[in-house]
A and B are shown apart, each in its own frame.
Chain A
Amino acid sequence: MKKDIILAGVGGQGILSIATVIGSAALEQGLHLKQAEVHGMSQRGGDVQSNLRLSSAPIFSDLIPKGGADLIVSLEPMEALRYLPYLSENGWIITNTSPFVNIPNYPEMEKVMAELDKLPNVVALDVDQIAKDLGSPRSANMVLLGAMAAALYILEPEKLREGIRRIFGRKGDTVVESNIKAFDAGLEFSQKNR
């Protein structure tokens, strides 16, 4: 079994913490994993992505081929669309609906949402709002992790919760609990809306 995932967002949004939690869970479960990131200049407010590959068999390429991704997981709706050519025919998009507007020519939101609506397999949720409602706005990325957990299969949600506990453990129980709560909210949304 394998899962190829493109994590997308804007520099500074926190896609790498999502990757770190998944990485920790995958290592614990003895899965093979490759996770390619981009550092440096492109981090400065530009589009960022990470290719995350999980498999029960050895993985060769660090990069996912076009048409090969099972999931696009994005903290930003337009950024989800940027990687469409990488999505497999039956692949899923799990995306935040709250836009990050730092360019003058950001498209109209209706157009972005219409483009997402055209695709067969999309879970769209406002992770910023859900995290705010839970009283922990900084856990928006964990809401998204929860939402993707429903479509991940290769890792059980409980393994990801354990990953959250390991990664955030040194920041104290309060931080761990708010991240777990955010994760569960995303998971619940995803299970109800797909």
Chain B
Amino acid sequence: MADKNLLLGDEALALGALHAGLSGVYAYPGTPSTEITEYIQLHPLTKERNVHSHWTTNEKTAMEGALGMSYAGKRALVCFKHVGLNVCADPFMGSAMTGANGGLVIASCDDPSMHSSQNEQDSRFYGAFAMMPVFEPSNQQETYEMAREAFDYSERRGIPVLMRMTTRLSHSRAVVESGDSIREQNQLHYPANPRQWVTLPVNARVRNRQLIKDYALFEEDAAASRFNWLKDGKDHSMGIIACGLAYNYLMENYPDGCPYPVLKISQYPFPRKLALELASMTKTILVLEEGQPLVEERLRGVFPTGITIRGRIDNAVNRDGELTPDAVRAALGLPELKAHPASEVVAPRPPALCQGCGHRDFFTALNNVLKDYEGARVFGDIGCYTLGWMPPFHSLHTCVEMGASVTMANGSAYSGTWPAVAVIGDSTFTHSGMTGLLDAVNENADIVVCISDNLTTGMTGGQDSAGTGRLEAICAGLGVDPAHIRTIVPLPKNYPEMEQVIKEEVEYHGVSVIISRRECIQTLKRHAKK
């Protein structure tokens, strides 16, 4: 009953996990990872098998929930965008120390070229950092197969597996043939090595030595993996290492087969043995990898002298930004294809807040108040409302990462900034803003925290927001004076009242919270259709 479906890379990963006997996905939405969890949520197996698929409050709680499931012997998947790995770095690093009991796979979706992100960090570095194997599929079919195998591998070696995806794989569709068997879910069973799960120094030292030994074993596995292979070519003037998706851009330029020897890599730790074999065939090696030059950096120093390594570091390939068939073509020394010149008529069309969006009305009112305060600084956060930095609003001065609005406003207020205003969305607030608000309450900071509440996680397409309906109670529970928890409805007809409330709270010297609440117009449209 092999089945053919047109699937996004994200969906192929999700289906592979379900077919591997998944018991739970733990995830916080983030482009380009969101569709993994959404696919699982809507899949019939999820209901049939009671697979956990509820969104978590943030990536740290996701990682920990999945680790708990693995402890109980069941198969768990964690999904997030690359920067989510920073949020859960603590339990992620810890999970390499505990090891996995039930198969544990962590899917981190990188976004080189920053289509919808604040940096282009390469998750593979985290794999090496934690001494964890990394799977990096090159296409949708391989994504399905590697996801299935990652769970088996995780259980066989007792280690979580990091699945590294990138935007162009996550968000590109192709025909995927799925396996003809759906594995049963695991039964509840606890680790055979219980000490490993208590990371007191006395246990962790023992485990760390074991992990170092295992990491060498993981490299041997990678050298033997069916997803990594070396293929000879007739022209030995150059050899090519192509990692993950980069393999496709290489082959795109050689429809009749690549003339050079090629080492294709989709499983790490990087198998140095295969690289040495390649090096014995040639004097020049071109490294093609999506993201940062991890392999290229690792290779320097591995080979005997006289071998030239080319790649992103020597600008043979673009140092930043994602790979393209064109960039790879240039690195291969092939002539450009004939193309039309760019049109000079075309104007940029940057993303913008939707017409009718509540964030718009909030920024308008905020700007009207703050124009009278010369020293005002507005600390922004991650979400649609980051677009408040763009014209016509120009409302924000900073945006760094999830939750930084509240804490940076606090630090800046202590340094003399007044008024110091934080603008944060409802989902981002529960993700990482609450703890910062507690800091502010404990210090009686002179800040105004504006929660622009659209009742959803808007930017990623309208997923549930963890604190919906309870934001006032959460803020009061953290100790904010209920007299300074104010709620406004962002609509043009309410500008006078909104501005009055904002002005009053700016003038109050303590912690204020203003909740500006109106449903996202995108989810509103969707609800109206139902």
A38 to B115, Cβ gap below 8 A? yes
A42 to B329, CA, bound (A): 27
- Chain B 457-486 interface 0/1 with A at a Cβ cutoff of 8 Å (1 = within): 001110000000000000000000000000
Interface residue from A41, A47, A84 paired with B341 (Cβ < 8 Å): A84
Interface centre among B115, B174, B352 (most CB of A within 10 A): B174
B31 to A39, Cβ gap below 8 A? yes
Known: A65-B324, A67-B337. A41 touches B252 (CB 8 A): no
A84 to B115, Cβ gap below 8 A? no
B116 to A41, Cβ gap below 8 A? yes
A38 to B171, Cβ gap below 8 A? yes
A106 to B346, CA, bound (A): 8
Q: Does B354 contact A (CB under 8 A)?
A: yes
Least CB distance from B140 to A in Å reads 8
Interface size on A, residues (CB 8 A): 51
Q: A residues within 8 A CB of B460?
A: 40
Least CB distance from B442 to A in Å reads 34
Q: Does A92 contact B (CB under 8 A)?
A: no
A24 to B6, CA, bound (A): 8
A41 to B389, CA, bound (A): 14
Interface residue from B6, B169, B252 paired with A23 (Cβ < 8 Å): B6
Known: A44-B351, A62-B168. A39 touches B340 (CB 8 A): no
B386: nearest chain-A partner, CB-CB: A41
Q: A residues within 8 A CB of B6?
A: 23-24, 27, 33
Q: A residues within 8 A CB of B252?
A: 60-61, 65
- Chain B 25-53 interface 0/1 with A at a Cβ cutoff of 8 Å (1 = within): 00000011011000000000000000000
Least CB distance from B39 to A in Å reads 13
Known: A27-B6, A43-B351, A44-B352. A82 touches B173 (CB 8 A): no
Q: B residues within 8 A CB of A106?
A: 347
| A107-115, A130-138, A143-151, A180-188 - interface stretch | A107-115
Q: Does A159 contact B (CB under 8 A)?
A: no
Known: A61-B249, A61-B252. A42 touches B339 (CB 8 A): no
Q: B residues within 8 A CB of A3?
A: none
A39 to B32, Cβ gap below 8 A? yes
- Chain A 25-41 interface 0/1 with B at a Cβ cutoff of 8 Å (1 = within): 00100001111111111
Q: Does A175 contact B (CB under 8 A)?
A: no
Q: B residues within 8 A CB of A11?
A: 351
Q: A residues within 8 A CB of B326?
A: 65-66
Q: Mark out the residues of chain B between 337 and 351 whose CB falls within 8 Å of any chain A CB in the assembled complex.
A: 337-343, 345-351
Does more than half of chain A's interface fall in helix, strand or loop, or is it mixed?
mixed
Interface residue from A24, A41, A78, A88 paired with B346 (Cβ < 8 Å): A78
A88 to B505, CA, bound (A): 59
B252: nearest chain-A partner, CB-CB: A61
Least CB distance from B402 to A in Å reads 15
Least CB distance from A96 to B in Å reads 15
A72 to B439, CA, bound (A): 54
Q: Does A169 contact B (CB under 8 A)?
A: no
A23 to B336, Cβ gap below 8 A? no
Q: Does A81 contact B (CB under 8 A)?
A: yes
- Chain B 217-258 interface 0/1 with A at a Cβ cutoff of 8 Å (1 = within): 000000000000000000000000000010111111000000
Interface residue from A23, A45, A84, A89 paired with B173 (Cβ < 8 Å): A23
A94 to B247, CA, bound (A): 32
- Chain A 86-116 interface 0/1 with B at a Cβ cutoff of 8 Å (1 = within): 1111000000000000110111000110010
A27 to B329, CA, bound (A): 30
A34 to B172, Cβ gap below 8 A? yes
A34 to B174, Cβ gap below 8 A? yes
Interface residue from B174, B247, B338, B350 paired with A46 (Cβ < 8 Å): B350
A32 to B341, Cβ gap below 8 A? no
A38 to B324, CA, bound (A): 15
A115 to B325, Cβ gap below 8 A? no
Q: Does B502 contact A (CB under 8 A)?
A: no
A61: nearest chain-B partner, CB-CB: B252
Interface residue from A43, A67, A111 paired with B336 (Cβ < 8 Å): A67
Known: A38-B115, A40-B115, A62-B169. A81 touches B352 (CB 8 A): no
Q: Does A68 contact B (CB under 8 A)?
A: yes
Q: Does B156 contact A (CB under 8 A)?
A: no
Q: A residues within 8 A CB of B174?
A: 32-35, 59, 62
Q: Does A18 contact B (CB under 8 A)?
A: no
Interface residue from B34, B172, B342 paired with A35 (Cβ < 8 Å): B172
Known: A33-B173, A46-B352, A65-B326. A41 touches B31 (CB 8 A): yes
Least CB distance from B192 to A in Å reads 42
- Chain A 68-85 interface 0/1 with B at a Cβ cutoff of 8 Å (1 = within): 100000000011011011
A103 to B247, CA, bound (A): 39
Q: Does B175 contact A (CB under 8 A)?
A: yes
Q: Does A5 contact B (CB under 8 A)?
A: no
A37: nearest chain-B partner, CB-CB: B171
Q: A residues within 8 A CB of B34?
A: 39
Q: Does B353 contact A (CB under 8 A)?
A: yes
Q: B residues within 8 A CB of A65?
A: 252, 324-326, 329, 337
Q: B residues within 8 A CB of A79?
A: 349
A34 to B8, CA, bound (A): 9
A51 to B168, CA, bound (A): 10
A66 to B341, Cβ gap below 8 A? no
Least CB distance from B9 to A in Å reads 9
Interface residue from A42, A45, A82 paired with B343 (Cβ < 8 Å): A82
Least CB distance from A182 to B in Å reads 20
A44 to B339, Cβ gap below 8 A? no
**Cross-chain pairs A/B with CB under 8 angstroms, 25 sampled:** A23-B6, A27-B5, A33-B175, A34-B172, A37-B173, A39-B32, A40-B31, A41-B31, A44-B351, A46-B349, A60-B248, A61-B325, A62-B168, A63-B249, A63-B325, A67-B339, A78-B346, A81-B345, A81-B346, A85-B340, A88-B339, A89-B338, A105-B347, A107-B347, A119-B340
Which 3 residue pairs spanning A and B have beta carbons closest together?
A40-B116, A40-B31, A67-B339
Besides A40-B459, A45-B351, A115-B343, 7 more A-B contacts (Cβ < 8 Å) are A23-B6, A40-B460, A62-B248, A66-B336, A78-B347, A85-B342, A87-B339
